[in-house]
Amino acid sequence: MIITKKFLPRRTFLKSVGATLALPLLDAMIPAATALDKTAAKPIRRLGFVFMPMGCDQSRWTPRSEGTLDELSPILDSLAPVKNHLTVLTNMELANAYPGSHATSNAAFLSAAKAKHTEGSDYYLGTTVDQIAARQVGLATQLPSLEMSMDLMQTVGQCDNGYACVYQNNLSWSSPTTPLPAEAHPRIVFESLFGEGGNAAERQATLRKRASLLDGFNHEISRLKRKVGLGDRAKIDQYLETVREVERRIQRAEADAANTALPDLDRPLGVPPAYADHARLMFDLQLLAFQGDVTRVITFQLARETSNRTYPEIGVPDPHHPLSHHGNDPDKIARMAKINAFHVSLFGEFLQKLKNTPEGNGSLLDHSLYLYGSGIGNPNVHDHTNLPIILAGGAAGGMKGNRHIRFKKPTPLANLHLTLLDKVGVRLDSFADSTGKLTDLFPLSM
């Protein structure tokens, strides 16, 4: 650990055998001159992308009011506690996702590019917006970016209308020919953030030797807390308790999996059996990654396109994909909308946690921008127009919330990607099929 006489560097780490622990932003990390001016250090800006598969029921998604969010729609109602950090965007499109398919929906969501129609290994797409951001924003962090998902799908070959499975297995592409696999196992994500490498057998042996990753940091933590003020000590305690709780939940999931004779083959061993518990754990890992400044760019796939996952915990035993092809059956549409609302509610819980996590003069939510949405509008016809899109975040990026913006004509989703890149300091003249930045999206001075 490096400690200067004036202040702690923002990139201060605690180190133990096989593990490294990043720290949240502390008052002791703010330079003395800045502290005297009673202003926070220049806030870190973070980008997150959450992909919702197979579109939605637009009638239950789209808010009635325009301009302000006077009344949230039924699907978005759970976002009320963070409404002031929320902008709903209506009439955005992915023109390069046509001809419509599930594969191109997934592929174009972050690339806004046209996927090469192939069943083989000669696939070709485009570099995704998260990876363009990571090349610049990620230079200062342990992980340039973090790719996460809720499903592991190893299927190869053709998955949808003659498109290779790689297009719907991966959201992030570091080049047009290099997809980045996402991780669905909480233990592996946890270790990518905090350490403990080696193969599975070595990790299990290490786990048997210790009760918690944090045990090896006790001396360093005590030494650090003697050098900071009372406020910073409280921040450290809160952060470490969050790390401990996430680790305990991972260990419980692993114990449950060990006692289950027939594990769910759609999820890796050690993943909580309930979808909501798994998703909350993955969202909490994102919070830790941002809070410790381990990464500043995250993508998260709530489920892959064509997912046949069922949701009995909310009273929907039907597979998701067939429901999305509802044939205008009101009952099927209502059940699909329940899945939409369920996914949004989990995202809303996460946003509230970001909002309740102080950082500098604001919160993690103030200093983050999250794009939540789907590459399909009406799933019944594989439409890539009028996409369900939410932008969540705060004024550190200049965003004014509590708004519903309805564009007069279909507007490229690439315009939003280009604008988000600009907000984190990546200056580009264009991105994919963009026609310009969304200048009215961030009216606040920065």
Going by pLDDT thresholds of 50, 70 and 90, the confidence category of residue 201 is: low
Q: What pLDDT is attached to residue 412?
A: 98
pTM of the model: 0.84
What would the two tokens of residue 350 be?
């996460």
**What average pLDDT does range 234-257 have in this prediction?**
73
* Same domain, yes or no: 29 and 52: no
pLDDT score of 257: 54
Percent of the chain past pLDDT 90, that is, above it, reads: 56
322 & 176 share domain:
yes
Query: Is residue 195 domain-resident?
Result: no
Question: For 160-164, 223-227, 334-338, which range has the lowest pLDDT when averaged over its residues?
Answer: 223-227
Are 108 and 73 part of one and the same domain?
A: yes
Indicate whether 218 pLDDT > 70: yes
* Integer Cα distance of 40 and 48 in angstroms: 23
Give the pLDDT score at 45: 87
Question: Does 257 lie in the same domain as 373?
Answer: no
pLDDT band at 10 (very low <50, low <70, confident <90, very high): low
Of residues 217 and 401, more confidence is placed in: 401
Based on the domain organization, do 320 and 399 belong to the same domain? yes
CA–CA gap between residue 362 and residue 185 (Å, rounded): 31
Instruction: Please indicate, yes or no, whether residues 339 and 387 belong to a single structural domain of this protein.
Output: yes
**135 and 26 housed in the same domain:** no
Mean pLDDT value of segment 268-284: 86
- From CA 266, how far away is CA 175, in angstroms rounded? 28
Is 1 within a domain?
Answer: yes
- Cα 146 from Cα 263, distance rounded (Å): 27
Task: With H, G, I as helix, E, B as strand and everything else as coil, classify residue 274.
Answer: coil
Q: Judge whether 327 lies within some domain.
A: yes
Across 150-296, the runs of DSSP E, i.e. the strands, are 158-160, 163-164, 172-175, 178-180
pLDDT band at 356 (very low <50, low <70, confident <90, very high): very high
What's the whole-number average pLDDT of the chain?
84
Let me know whether 150 and 260 are in one domain.
Answer: no
Examine the domain organization and report whether 248 and 305 are in the same domain: no
Mean pLDDT, rounded, for 37-49? 71
pLDDT tier at 440, thresholds 50, 70, 90: confident
Which residue did the predictor score with more confidence, 58 or 41? 58
Contact of 284 with 347, CB cutoff 8 Å? no
Residue 385 included in any domain: yes
Range of the domain at 19: 1-42+200-270
| Cross-strand bridge partners of residue 172 | 180
The answer to whether residue 326 sits within a structural domain is yes
Q: Is the pLDDT of residue 155 over 70?
A: no
366 and 265 within one domain: no
Output the six-digit token pair for 253: 């999931």
127 in a domain, yes or no? yes
Q: What is the pLDDT of residue 1?
A: 41
Residue 195's CB is within 10 A of a number of other CB atoms, namely 17
pLDDT digits (tens, 9 = 90+) for 407-424: 999 999 999 999 999 999
Residues of the chain with pLDDT > 70: what percent?
Answer: 81
Tens of pLDDT, residue by residue over 285-325, are: 999 999 989 999 999 999 999 889 999 999 999 999 999 99
| CATH number for 176 | 3.40.720.10
β-strand pairing of 297-301 with 146-149: parallel
Q: Taking residues 17-27, what's their average pLDDT? A: 69
Assess whether pLDDT exceeds 70 at residue 5: no
Could you tell me if 161 and 89 lie in one domain?
A: yes
On whether residue 194 sits in a domain, the answer given is no
Note whether 101 and 143 are same-domain residues: yes
Q: How many structural domains comprise the chain? A: 2
